[in-house]
């Protein structure tokens, strides 16, 4: 009950969207619009080698030939790709991440306000034995700082921004970039390949268990700009990593595009745990004006035998969320997991889920999805589970539950199951209901207010997924669940 109390207090203190402020700093922009020159500009800004520029230009050419998809259950006015900035960076950072002392104090203040520890001592200042986590902070199109790099390098773990990786570890980047999500995989991934700005690069060498949680914090600050992050995580044989990702943006009336690509590669016996707390600005709850379009391609390639990738996502923000973190289960006995909470309120729209593609023998996957729709929002679970002829003994269990709060919201479940193998076993179950009146009545009879009672029940509904999050994220996520649902009852 203490957690509920805390949640309620938190709601009382906060506005609906507490990350909606703008940091007033001077910024560098690419000229507005998208052309081959924009691509060259971005590449030049980042001091990239020729091969990277060519890769981008090729992606741009392919993107021009692609058609924007429209199959998702989301509605939005056509995006004018020429009416946006594709590169925005705090003015004059020397190319490459800086030492903390050189970072604009305004930016540091921003991260402090967001509660992200960029000073290593701040992380350490807490309770003795508190878990450490390294942070890569991405501000619009550039990574401003990456913490704990030395400590990580001591065990051979590479954790840096993508731009730095292209300069310092080109052999790894060339080998793996685009190997999980090919350049022309889909419209938005292709756009990202042409104009991607920054993101994180992680390499964990064989047998190393990454000594701390790695995390990236994405912040969109500039107006009328898009953010195109690119993250690549490679975990070698027998290694392990846990990676967290958080996102926020200011409140603005104009929609902004966030088209990211995240690629994970897991070798034999490797384990990757990837957690996301997505809290982009959701737009005005009444008019639906503004907010982020979150069109993201996330995919893990379980190349090695017995490798394991676990995606956990808490999706509370964005005007429109359109993403399917997926696992290609190639290695024999590899395991894919997907735990998701997607909450939509106001006029938000979400079409999210996962793909579990069983290619190897004895591969296993598990999908737990909890969707909550409130207000006038629409929330769709869309997922694919497939077993190919060689995936003998493949197993999947899927559970997706939807909760409806209010008369005007919508909840959809659209699973695809393709079994091309006589020895695959797939199970899927889904339910859609509203909050139980009886349970609400019971909780209120025990003295809880209506809002508290709803939060208690909702927290119970999503508990299975919250448990999968790393501790400090779980607490944050629980609060976020409460805030996202504020004003949805009564």
Nearer to another protein, 32 or 420 (CB): 420
Residues in the chain: 490
Structural contact between residues 309 and 347, judged by C-beta atoms closer than 8 angstroms = no
Q: How far is the CB of 428 from another protein (least distance, A)?
A: 4
Q: Between 389 and 460, whose beta carbon lies closer to another protein?
A: 389
| Cβ 417 to another protein shortest distance, Å | 4
Q: Which is nearer to another protein, 214 or 374 (CB)?
A: 374
CB of 385 to another protein, least distance (A): 9
Four-point Cα dihedral 44, 48, 52, 58, nearest 10: 0
Binding site for another protein (CB under 8 A): 71, 389, 402, 404-434
Q: How far is the CB of 34 from another protein (least distance, A)?
A: 28
CA distance 449 to 162: 48
Residue 73 vs residues 350, 378, 411, 485: alpha-carbon distances, Å: 8, 8, 11, 22
Euclidean distance between CA atoms 335 and 210, whole angstroms: 20
Task: Answer for the pair 255, 319: CB distance below 8 angstroms, yes or no.
Answer: yes
**Residue nearer to another protein on the CB measure, 51 or 416:** 416
Write the CB contacts of 1 (distance below 8 Å, at least 6 apart in sequence). none
Q: How far is the CB of 193 from another protein (least distance, A)?
A: 24
**Shortest distance (Å) from residue 172 CB to another protein:** 38
Q: Is the four-CA dihedral 236, 237, 241, 245 of positive or negative sign? A: positive
Between 9 and 427, CB nearer to another protein: 427
Give whichever of 108 and 457 is closer to another protein, judged by the CB atom.
457
Closest CA to 331 of 386, 267, 393, 384: 267
> Rounded CA gap, 161 and 179, in Å?
19
Contact 309, 180 (CB under 8 A): no
> In whole angstroms, how close is the CB of 152 to another protein at the nearest point?
44
66 vs 410 by CB, closer to another protein? 410
Minimum CB distance to another protein, residue 11 (Å): 22
Per the structure block, which two tokens stand in for 429?
């179950």
Nearer CB in complex with another protein: 106/427: 427
- Picking from 137, 103, 336, the residue whose alpha carbon sits closest to that of residue 220 is 137
Extended strands (E) in 158-270: 158-161, 200-204, 213-219, 230-235, 240-248, 256-258, 261-266
């Amino acid at each position: 009950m203490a957690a509920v109390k805390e949640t309620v207090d938190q709601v009382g203190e906060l506005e609906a969207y507490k990350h909606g402020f703008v940091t007033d700093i001077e910024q560098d922009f690419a000229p507005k619009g998208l052309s081959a020159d924009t691509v060259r500009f971005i590449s030049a800004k980042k001091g990239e080698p020729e091969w990277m520029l060519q890769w981008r230009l090729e992606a741009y050419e392919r993107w021009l030939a692609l058609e924007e998809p429209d199959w998702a259950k989301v509605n939005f006015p056509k995006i004018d790709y020429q009416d946006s900035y594709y590169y925005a960076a705090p003015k004059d950072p020397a190319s490459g991440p800086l030492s903390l002392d050189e970072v604009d104090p305004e930016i540091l203040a921003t991260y402090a306000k967001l509660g992200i520890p960029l000073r290593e001592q701040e992380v350490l200042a807490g309770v003795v034995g508190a878990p450490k986590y390294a942070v890569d902070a991405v501000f619009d199109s550039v990574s401003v700082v990456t913490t704990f790099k030395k400590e990580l390098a001591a065990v051979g773990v590479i954790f840096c921004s993508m731009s730095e990786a292209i300069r310092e570890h080109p052999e790894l980047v060339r080998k793996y970039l685009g190997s999980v999500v090919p350049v022309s995989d889909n419209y938005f991934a292709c756009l990202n390949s042409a104009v991607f700005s920054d993101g994180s690069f992680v390499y964990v060498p064989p047998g190393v268990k990454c000594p701390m949680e790695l995390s990236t914090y994405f912040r969109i600050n500039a107006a009328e700009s898009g953010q195109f992050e690119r993250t690549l995580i490679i975990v070698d044989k027998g290694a392990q990593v846990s990676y967290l990702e958080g996102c926020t943006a200011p409140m603005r009336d104009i929609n902004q595009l966030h088209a990211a690509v995240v690629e994970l590669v897991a070798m034999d016996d490797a384990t990757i745990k990837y957690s996301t707390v997505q809290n982009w600005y959701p737009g005005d709850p009444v008019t639906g004006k503004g907010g982020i379009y979150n069109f993201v391609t996330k995919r893990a390639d379980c190349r090695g035998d017995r490798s394991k990738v676990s995606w956990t996502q808490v999706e509370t923000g964005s005007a429109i969320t359109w993403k399917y973190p997926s696992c290609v289960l190639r290695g024999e006995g590899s395991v894919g997991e997907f735990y998701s909470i997607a909450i939509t309120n106001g006029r938000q729209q979400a079409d999210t889920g996962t793909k579990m593609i069983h290619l190897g023998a004895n591969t296993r996957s598990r999908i737990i999805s909890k969707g909550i729709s409130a207000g006038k929002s629409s929330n769709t679970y869309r997922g694919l589970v497939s077993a190919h002829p060689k995936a003998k003994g493949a197993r999947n269990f899927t559970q997706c539950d939807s909760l409806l709060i209010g008369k005007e919201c919508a909840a959809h479940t659209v699973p695809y199951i393709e079994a091309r193998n006589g020895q695959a076993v797939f199970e899927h179950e889904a339910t859609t209901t509203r909050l139980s009146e009886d349970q609400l009545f019971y909780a209120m009879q025990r003295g809880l207010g209506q809002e508290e009672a709803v939060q208690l029940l909702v927290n119970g509904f999503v508990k299975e997924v919250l448990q999968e999050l790393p501790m400090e994220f779980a607490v944050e996520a629980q609060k976020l669940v409460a805030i996202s649902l504020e004003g949805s009852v009564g």
